[in-house]
Amino acid sequence: MTIEKTSTVYPTNKHNRPQPPTRLALHGFDRQVLPIQIHNNRFFRQPSIPFTDVVHQLKASLAEALELYPPVAGSVQYNERGEAYIALGKEGIVGTPFLVDLKDTAYTEDDKDLSPRLDAILPPGSSTLAVKVTQFSCGTICVASSFHHQVADLRGFLDFLEIWAQVNRNEPIDFNRIPDDWTRTPGRFFSEFMKELEGQPIPVPAPFELRDPPSLVPAPSLMAPSVVTNWKLSKTSMEQMKREFSPSPSADSTSWISSGDALTALISGAVTRAREGANIARLEGRSSTESGVESIVMPADGRLRAPKGDMAGGHYLGNFNNLWTLAFPRADLLTPTPEAAGRIALAIRSALNIQLSPESIAKRIAFLEDPSRNSHPGQFGWTSDIILTNWCRFDLKGPKLDFGWDQCPAFAGTPGGLTAFSPACCLIFEDKATREVFVMLTIEHEGKAGLVSDPLMTKYATLI
């Protein structure tokens, strides 16, 4: 039996901050993602103060944080042409749902039911943020936050959560880490490169493709049923994998790969082998058999690529995930050896260096801002065989996210339990304290047996 209560939190009016427009138009970077959620679940030991005081503190500090981050207090609405925008006027400040749940069972593990909302696709009018605070019978507290992905990416989400935590700790607010311009204009951080592109035709950057007629319907391959598998790699396993996938010492000294490159290669190969072994149908949206390749798409935060270094550090709220893509030879992916995976990892590193350069990012911005290609929703889209997201750079439970209870930071931080995801979707995150890496990986039901028994995947990763 549980006792659940729901209330609504509205922003305070304590600070004399510049107010954004009542409507914020979404950028192409925002529209390239579906109206799905990003989750952050943090788990805390029972603090010394009563749970009622915990809830009161969280609601009060959240209200102040919402004032400091107006777009987070708003909601995503649609105009008569079907174009999404962030509503911040009276129509948009619908309030942030705040749920409180008291459970009569002890904490055991993360679960999707801890989230404040479980919608696979958020409906029009959804609030940017929703929060659920759960206390288990053992005293453990989970603070679960759900964020509308079209409003911001993970980096923007964490920037807000860090400000909320700072307010709850009663620390002076660092206004230098709060944007003073809420408009979706990422080109201002790449102005030199954007000027060079003025008047030039901008080719369609991969993985995007123009759609005529426009369509918002996902490719059939993205709608197929899937099953979730969870994996863990120790710090030692990650180091071993990188070492065994790396070029030999006699190779070109510039041939370097990261641990992330190696892990991406490992996962891509395991998924491809499992699908081939189960003879998974190649639905529309996937590479053809005749092509001899498998494609991957992976978002990468572009803030740190701004030439003047002035976009990171909380200075831009929005989506700035630059999609890089690569087509691998299927023969290498089907070969479960470190040598074949190493070739894939090197190709990944080369693609990253090119596709995430400031010049390439500026061209992507220019394409996404081209009115001739963005006058109607669904004019462009993308597909891929495998979709990966790597959150290892982000700390999901570190000191900046500590609410200040008894100097006891969260003992666990997760991206929440996966609900409904397409096959061959992967989310990677790291526990910064233990350096363990966790992988949440989906695959078609028929391919699960091959995936969990893949010889190379199981050499480095443990199924959990």
Please report the DSSP string for 360-407 in residue order: HHHHHHHHHH-GGGSSSTTSEE---SEEEEE-TTS-SSSGGG---STT
Q: Do 2-176 and 210-395+413-463 show the same overall fold?
A: yes
The CATH number corresponding to 2-176 among 3.40.50.300, 3.20.20.80, 3.20.20.70, 3.30.559.10 equals: 3.30.559.10
- CATH number for the region 210-395+413-463 comes to 3.30.559.10
Which one-letter DSSP state was computed for residue 461? Answer: -
Question: What residue segments make up the domains of the chain, in order of their start?
Answer: 2-176, 210-395+413-463
What single letter denotes the amino acid at residue 281? A
Record the pTM.
0.93
- pLDDT at residue 250 in the model: 61
Q: What is the pLDDT along the chain (464 residues), one digit of tens a residue?
A: 566 789 999 999 999 888 889 999 999 999 888 899 999 999 999 999 999 999 999 999 999 999 999 999 999 999 988 889 999 988 899 999 999 999 999 999 998 899 999 988 899 999 999 999 999 999 999 999 999 999 999 999 999 999 999 999 999 999 999 999 999 999 999 999 999 999 999 999 999 999 989 888 889 998 999 999 999 999 999 999 999 999 887 655 568 999 999 999 999 999 999 999 999 999 999 999 999 999 999 999 999 999 999 999 999 999 999 999 999 999 999 999 999 999 999 999 999 999 999 999 999 999 999 988 877 778 888 999 999 999 999 999 999 999 999 877 899 999 986 556 799 999 999 999 999 999 999 999 999 999 999 999 999 999 99
| C-alpha–C-alpha distance, residues 74 and 90, integer Å | 9
6: Cβ–Cβ under 8 A, 6 or more apart, which residues? 97, 98, 99, 100
| C-alpha–C-alpha distance, residues 167 and 173, integer Å | 7
Cβ atoms 381, 34 nearer than 8 A: no
Length in residues, the chain:
464
